[in-house]
A = this chain, B = another copy of it.
Amino acid sequence: MAIEGKDQSGVSRRLRLGMVGGGQGAFIGAVHRIAARLDDCYELVAGAFSSDPDRARASAADLRVPADRAYDSYEAMAAAEAARDDGIDAVAIVTPNHVHYPVARAFLDAGINVICDKPLTTTLDDAMDLVATVERSGLIFGLTHNYTGYPMVRQMREMIAGGELGKVRLVQAEYAQDWLTTKMEDSGSKQAEWRTDPARSGAAGCVGDIGTHAYNLADFVTGVPATEVLAELSIFGEGRRLDDNAGMLLRYANGARGVLWASQVAPGNENGLRLRVYGEKAGLSWAQEHPNHLTFTPYGEPPRQITRGGAGSGAAAAHATRIPPGHPEGYLEGFTQLYTDLAEQISAKLEGRDPDPASLLVPTVRDGAVGVKFIEASVASSAAGGVWTSLELPTS
């Protein structure tokens, strides 16, 4: 190995973490827990892991959370933890989408920092309320648009900010999956059930579930806000109630143009999130399924492959990596990065110091509101037959 490893953030004590949702049978809860653990800066000490009390308790036991901090409801948890001297430093919210808002609001009101899965909420009103609450409280609020934690994504952002593409002209974003090609929701898949259910997912299906990731990724990487969307949402699963495919055109504030495709009915695509950005001077191309590689194409020069930690990989990527080039990091490490950066933010606040500036790239509650606006605008554009629709946030 040419370089040395690292396995820990610089936080001085492990933060105490609570979790709402994520009990037995859940997917994303396990991911959040690994992300909290991998860099050794959190310990899970409390939880309301399920709305079913028996499952909540059994899950806590599995997770070695003490019985007296295994709660039956998030309300009880927020109250009790806020009252303890050794109460949690932060709560991770990993429930279905429609529950994000009340849980987040409850913990913010209790003075507890929040780490929330995306999308932020199912309505823009709720989202703006959280923005206001966070800004009023001064609490840390991190939204786990986890793909922003990949080193090569941060590399893209750094290169664009550094002017290596010149003015950005084109954004080509796509997020294609295939797992809803058939009616999975009729065959007992819990994941498919809630993600295709308007009551639990909100007004959008595919657009909210994965389209927002692609949109957020482009936003994060380019630093250029989108101003308008024109969307065509479709449903291919017979009898399905939420979109499972979407084609979108985007207009950006600087005159750039974009195309975004999101689909859950494209056979052969497992988790095909891909972003290409082109500017006056160069292009960048990245694919989530091969996250350690980034293609940089300066106009008139041979394309170059930048690898995580390899030649051409800069400080922003180095901040977000643990092991040398050629030793692939993946989804869990990218997810971890958000947790670790939030640990630094929270620790800095607790210790009354400035956080490491490199830790400040975690998506915020405002990014979450931008995402909710994107969903609402897409649904509205498509419902109107495909018209350009503003993406501007209300002034909060």
Binding site for B on A (CB under 8 A): 1-8, 14, 25-31, 33-34, 37-38, 40, 62-64, 169-170, 172, 174, 177-179, 181-182, 184, 189-192, 230, 232, 234, 236, 245, 247, 249, 251, 257-259, 261, 263, 265-272, 276, 278-283, 285, 288-292, 295-307, 310-312, 322-333, 385-388
Q: How far is the CB of A247 from chain B (nearest CB, A)?
A: 4
Asked whether, in the complex, the Cβ of B236 is within 8 Å of the Cβ of A169, the reply is yes
Asked whether, in the complex, the Cβ of B332 is within 8 Å of the Cβ of A331, the reply is no
User: A4: which B residues are within 8 A, CB to CB?
Assistant: 25-27, 30, 190-191
Q: How far is the CB of A202 from chain B (nearest CB, A)?
A: 17
Q: How far is the CB of A104 from chain B (nearest CB, A)?
A: 22
Which 8 A-B pairs rank lowest in CB-CB distance, beginning with the nearest?
A268-B297, A271-B326, A270-B326, A328-B330, A5-B30, A7-B30, A330-B330, A327-B331
Q: List 24 A-B contacts (CB under 8 A).
A: A1-B28, A1-B179, A2-B179, A4-B25, A4-B30, A5-B31, A14-B64, A37-B40, A38-B38, A170-B263, A181-B280, A247-B259, A259-B261, A266-B278, A266-B283, A269-B326, A271-B326, A289-B326, A290-B328, A292-B330, A302-B307, A323-B331, A328-B331, A385-B388
User: A29: which B residues are within 8 A, CB to CB?
Assistant: 5
Asked whether, in the complex, the Cβ of A265 is within 8 Å of the Cβ of B169, the reply is yes
- Choose from B6, B27, B266, B322 the contact partner of A5 (Cβ within 8 Å): B27
Given A172-B261, A230-B230, A283-B267, A302-B304 contact (CB < 8 Å): yes
**CA of A232 to CA of B387, assembled, Å:** 12
**CA of A121 to CA of B181, assembled, Å:** 40
Asked whether, in the complex, the Cβ of A324 is within 8 Å of the Cβ of B170, the reply is no
User: A27: which B residues are within 8 A, CB to CB?
Assistant: 1, 3-5, 324
Q: How far is the CB of A183 from chain B (nearest CB, A)?
A: 11
Asked whether, in the complex, the Cβ of A311 is within 8 Å of the Cβ of B307, the reply is no
Q: A330-B330, A386-B387 are in contact. List 15 more A-B contacts (CB 8 A).
A: A4-B25, A169-B245, A178-B297, A232-B257, A247-B257, A259-B259, A267-B279, A268-B282, A268-B285, A288-B326, A288-B328, A296-B302, A301-B304, A301-B311, A332-B332
Q: How far is the CB of A47 from chain B (nearest CB, A)?
A: 13
Q: How far is the CB of A187 from chain B (nearest CB, A)?
A: 11
Q: How far is the CB of A368 from chain B (nearest CB, A)?
A: 20
Q: How far is the CB of A13 from chain B (nearest CB, A)?
A: 8
- Choose from B31, B172, B245 the contact partner of A170 (Cβ within 8 Å): B245
User: A191: which B residues are within 8 A, CB to CB?
Assistant: 1-4
- Choose from B25, B63, B174, B312 the contact partner of A302 (Cβ within 8 Å): B312
**CA of A388 to CA of B194, assembled, Å:** 33
**CA of A310 to CA of B265, assembled, Å:** 16
Q: How far is the CB of A353 from chain B (nearest CB, A)?
A: 19
- Choose from B64, B278, B328 the contact partner of A265 (Cβ within 8 Å): B278
User: A388: which B residues are within 8 A, CB to CB?
Assistant: 385-386
Asked whether, in the complex, the Cβ of B247 is within 8 Å of the Cβ of A258, the reply is yes
Q: How far is the CB of A5 from chain B (nearest CB, A)?
A: 4
Residue in chain B with minimal CB distance to A385: B388
Q: How far is the CB of A169 from chain B (nearest CB, A)?
A: 5
Residue in chain B with minimal CB distance to A232: B249
